[in-house]
Structure 1
Amino acid sequence: MTIFDAVLLSYDEPMADALYSRLQRTLGSSVKRLHGVHGMRRAYRLCAEVVDREQFLLADGDFAIAADFDVAAVEPLGEGVSMRVWQTVNPVNGLAYGYGGLKLIRRSALREMGQAVDVLAALPGRIEFAQQIAGVTRFNQSPFHAWKAGFRECAMLARGSEYGMADDGSRLRVEAWANSRNGEFAPYAAAGAREGVAFAREFARASGRFDHLNDPTWLRARFAAAHGDQAVAG
């Protein structure tokens, strides 16, 4: 039994129900769920209000936790650390890093969160990046979801990582995303990556436009304009 509360934060992911059940089975405890909240920053902040403990595990709605993840071995966050992020495996390009990863996070840090396009990068305090792989980020559940993942991540990487990643690391990850060819809907993830880089080149310093990365309605409209309504429905 874990000493931490846990929350799955979902929005419109087709596999969210199944991944929620998987998370509950693996953690061996009741996992809370927050679903369909519009506004990414608002959704994360609301997570702080549904838990009873200061430190809690937070999973995205497309996170497939590894069956052998040992929650009993998870150490609490140290003083001054606001969040720990475990690595996930990317199913379309094989990368393993913190994208879509399981998080251990402080409720108080979410309540004091600042402003950033990559919302959790604005937490106060330090962020730890664990080397352990905690699962797979199953964002490739439809053409739209695969495209959105590539578009958002590569736009932010091309603009400059808000976590302070070196340019060489960002460039290598963008290249891997743009050459995605494994798993379901990989071509859409690759297209999203290329289009996200182009978007960043045009609007990286236009904060009002760049904030569209967190607007689901805008993202769906942009995808439909480039790839067709049928792909959105898929």
Structure 2
Amino acid sequence: MTRVLVVEDDRELGELLVRAFGNAGYTTDLAGDGQAGLHRALTRGYDLLILDRGLPAIEGLDLLARLRRSGVQAPALMLTALGTVADRVAGLDGGAEDYVVKPFDLDELLARVRVLLRRPPAPAGHVIAVGTAEFDLITRTVHAEDGTATTLSGRESDLLRLFAEHPSRVFSRREITARVFPESGTDTLADTYVHYLRRKLGAAVVTTVRGTGYRLGRL
């Protein structure tokens, strides 16, 4: 049974989400503040976390950071009224796999949840090579040859994994969207996340093949 934790201080909204996820077949718990969410996530096993950002006791991004440091790797979706580009980037860079702004469409939210739950688990050999670096799929951390460690967001990790598992293949923007961002109606997310990877790991990590798409570069 798929288990979902919703951390939301708006009780009416939280109960609506619990009912919606229950109707979709998920076992769902509700926590009303960040401290309660932290306790539940650390003491019970969940397959997905739905987190507000403006939470009492522990703010949503701080909550997610504490959970990641404690080894909780369940995918997280930020569900919040903070919707500027800077807010979205902060949420994704802070470790969230997806970011949905309130008010939202419930059917779209459920679709995004299904996408996150379909993400492949890290394989038994969860460290793969990216050029001269090592990429840990569980911690989503790239360890460079010089000892530098860089942690990626969920979507950045998914994109780098796609390239790293097919190092000689060129992926079109449409292929990247279908594999990494299937809920998106536009191919521009491929360009955006290639930019994010280059910003974190260096411009050479992804090579642009003019007129075709992208492939793994080097570190």
Question: Which structure's relative contact order is higher, taking Cα pairs within 8 Å and 6+ residues apart?
Answer: 1
Q: TM-score, with normalisation over the residues of structure 2?
A: 0.31
Higher helix share: 1
TM-score, normalised to structure 1's length?
Answer: 0.30
